[in-house]
């Protein structure tokens, strides 16, 4: 298996991440395609500036090729490599690697998940967290998977390491699917899944959205961001679109096999049609609506870099992700008086409770409240 090593690197007094691999033109070409990659001739290495999601972006980018990513040299990693041993103060410095037979089983596990039609991201996540669990039982010299071993892992590597609720749920789900894959019979796993934090979504105002698009000059980038916002799309849904999914006559976009393997229709804005037609005429994509340099599907990593650059150009200081555009679409619909049931259908939510969160960030009703400070 090809191994990509990520290491801390300083360039001109700037914190960076260097990318190391065995010399191979195919690997080198793929590394060069990552946004903002540079070559340092002195140290003979590729590197990128260190930013907030740099490690996870690199990790997901290389995992798309099925390559193993070693980021143990970096202090901040998406996967916990160190933790406190239960009841002791000495940390586990590094987990041992998977045994050869475990590697074979993990590869089979990944294919089994794919056959169950899990998304690519879910498959990668479950494979990674399960690999971590197997490395943990190797470290503890545990011979068989039991309730006790799972509870130990949950305490040592999740609770004690103060990992997020979302990460904990991913680990438990991944291990449960692996147990199902292996046909292992154990007692019911009695690990209480914590409720997720009920955080309100970040939302950009209509003025900020307008400025964001006005300062994005690249046609492909502008079309991508505009489509995500105007149709309330998840980024994965936008990148999976094909030309035939756009119904110009009916003013609809057909979203196929979205989250939960559900199809739905959402709005095609009349205002975006001229831009979209110009984009199609200029770029002439062959398979996907948005394609990379070699005709491959445009990556989420590239899309995030597009938004990041546009936010800087627009002078928007507010923290925002591609999903913020979807949140903003729903909030702006609600503020304009659209029935929340229609918003639920457009977003593809199973339950209206999920959509109701936008009532907490909408400013329509809040503006009508008279602040007591104003009457002092």
Residues with a catalytic annotation lie at: 234, 259, 323, 326, 349, 358
Tallying the residues shown for the chain, one arrives at 376
**Separation CA 214–CA 316 (nearest Å):** 13
**Separation CA 289–CA 260 (nearest Å):** 22
Q: How far apart are the first and last CA of the chain?
A: 70
Structure tokens at 128: 């990674």
Q: Nearest 5°: phi and psi at 49?
A: -65, 145
306, 326, 302: which is closest to 234 by C-alpha? 326
**Separation CA 238–CA 318 (nearest Å):** 23
Angle of helix 100-115 relative to helix 165-182, nearest 10 degrees, comes to 100
On whether the CB atoms of residues 48 and 62 are closer than 8 A, the answer is no
On whether the CB atoms of residues 2 and 65 are closer than 8 A, the answer is yes
77, 63, 33: which is closest to 305 by C-alpha? 33
Structure tokens at 269: 């804005």
On whether the CB atoms of residues 158 and 171 are closer than 8 A, the answer is yes
* Helix, strand or coil, per DSSP, at residue 61: helix
User: How many Cβ atoms from other residues are within 10 Å of residue 333's Cβ?
Assistant: 20
On whether the CB atoms of residues 257 and 321 are closer than 8 A, the answer is no
* Helix, strand or coil, per DSSP, at residue 299: coil
**Separation CA 286–CA 280 (nearest Å):** 10
User: How many Cβ atoms from other residues are within 10 Å of residue 75's Cβ?
Assistant: 9
CA of residue 302 relative to chain centroid, distance: 12
**Separation CA 266–CA 94 (nearest Å):** 47
On whether the CB atoms of residues 83 and 167 are closer than 8 A, the answer is no
């Amino acid at each position: 298996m090809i191994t990509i090593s990520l290491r801390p690197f300083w360039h001109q007094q700037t914190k960076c991440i260097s990318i190391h691999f065995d010399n191979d033109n195919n690997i080198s070409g793929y590394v060069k395609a990552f946004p903002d990659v540079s070559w340092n001739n002195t140290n003979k290495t590729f590197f990128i500036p260190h930013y907030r999601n740099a490690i996870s972006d690199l990790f997901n980018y290389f995992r798309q090729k099925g390559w193993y990513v070693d980021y143990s040299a970096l202090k901040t990693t998406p996967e916990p490599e160190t933790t406190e041993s239960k009841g002791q103060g000495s940390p586990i410095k590094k987990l041992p690697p998977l045994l050869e037979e475990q590697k074979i089983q993990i590869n089979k596990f990944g294919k089994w998940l794919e056959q169950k039609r899990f998304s690519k991201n879910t498959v990668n996540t479950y494979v990674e967290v399960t690999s971590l669990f197997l490395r943990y039982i190797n470290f503890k010299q545990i011979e068989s998977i039991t309730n006790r071993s799972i509870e130990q892992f949950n305490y040592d590597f999740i609770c004690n390491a103060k990992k997020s609720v979302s990460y904990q749920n991913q680990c438990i789900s991944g291990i449960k699917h692996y147990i199902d894959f292996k046909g292992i019979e154990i007692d019911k796993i009695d690990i209480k899944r914590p409720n997720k934090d009920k955080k309100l979504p970040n939302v950009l105002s209509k003025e900020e959205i307008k400025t964001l698009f006005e300062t994005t000059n690249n046609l492909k980038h502008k079309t991508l961001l505009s489509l995500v916002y105007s149709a309330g799309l998840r980024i994965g849904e936008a990148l999976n679109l094909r030309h035939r999914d756009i119904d110009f006559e009916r003013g609809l976009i057909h979203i196929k096999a979205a989250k939960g393997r559900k199809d739905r229709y959402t709005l095609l804005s009349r205002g975006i049609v001229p831009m979209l037609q110009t984009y199609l005429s200029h770029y002439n994509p062959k398979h996907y609506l948005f394609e990379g340099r070699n005709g491959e599907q445009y990556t989420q990593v590239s899309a995030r870099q597009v938004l990041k650059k546009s936010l800087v150009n627009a002078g928007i200081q507010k923290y925002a992700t591609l999903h913020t555009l979807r949140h903003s679409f729903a909030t702006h619909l609600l503020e304009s008086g659209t029935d929340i049931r229609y918003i639920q259908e457009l977003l593809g939510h199973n339950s209206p409770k999920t959509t109701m969160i936008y009532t907490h960030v909408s400013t329509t009703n809040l503006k009508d409240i008279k602040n007591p400070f104003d009457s002092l």
